[in-house]
């Protein structure tokens, strides 16, 4: 049985396990299971993988979206440029597991935005500068749409205005 799961800490508020159990049942997927892995330290991902050779993928939530990156074998372009991952594909077929990190927020935002874009959409305003905002900025840069970021509590040296690079 292929295993998938979620890493983060704490995970007491996560609805992911039930969501995926329902999804697998609805789709008739009987060879998969989804588990929660509340790990306080990102490096514990290595122990999880060693303990379960059927582990194929993990979702990543706070606080590990950045701290897990040093343990990954490779990153997709978006995850590398954003500096955060929220999904890890695990290939355990070789001598050493291969862990590829993705930032799926990019795909989700881009695919939901593209059908709504019209020629008059020439610039954007982004509220906030957290993890999801980084994915939004990445997509706007990819689409050539200049943007302004507005933040409530600017950090020293924070970039409040960004445009296409």
Q: Which residues carry out catalysis?
A: 65
Q: What angle, 0 to 180 degrees and rounded to 10, lies between the N-to-C axes of helices 131-143 and 104-113? A: 50
Burial of 73 (0-12, 13-18, 19+ CB in 10 A): middle
| Strand-pair partners of 55 | 3
Sign (positive or negative) of CA dihedral 133, 139, 142, 146: negative
Instruction: Please check whether residue 66 is in contact with residue 83, taking contact to mean a CB–CB distance below 8 angstroms.
Output: yes
DSSP per-residue letters across 36-58: EEE-SSGGGHHHHHHH-TTEEEE
Integer Cα distance of 142 and 134 in angstroms = 12
């Amino acid at each position: 049985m292929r295993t998938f799961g979620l890493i983060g800490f704490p995970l007491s508020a996560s609805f992911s396990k039930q969501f995926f159990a329902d999804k697998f049942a609805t789709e008739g997927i009987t060879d998969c299971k989804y588990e929660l892995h509340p790990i306080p330290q990102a490096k514990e991902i290595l122990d999880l993988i060693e303990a379960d050779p059927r582990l194929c993928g993990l979702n990543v939530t706070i606080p590990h979206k950045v701290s897990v990156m040093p343990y990954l074998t490779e990153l997709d372009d978006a995850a590398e440029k954003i500096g955060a991952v929220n999904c890890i594909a695990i290939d355990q077929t070789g001598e050493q597991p291969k862990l590829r990190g993705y930032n799926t927020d990019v795909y989700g935002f881009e695919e939901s935005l593209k059908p709504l874009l019209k020629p008059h959409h020439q610039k954007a305003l982004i509220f906030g500068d957290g993890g999801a905002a980084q994915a939004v900025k990445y997509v706007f840069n990819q689409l050539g749409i200049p943007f302004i970021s507005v933040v409530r509590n600017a950090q020293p040296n924070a970039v409040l205005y960004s445009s296409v690079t």
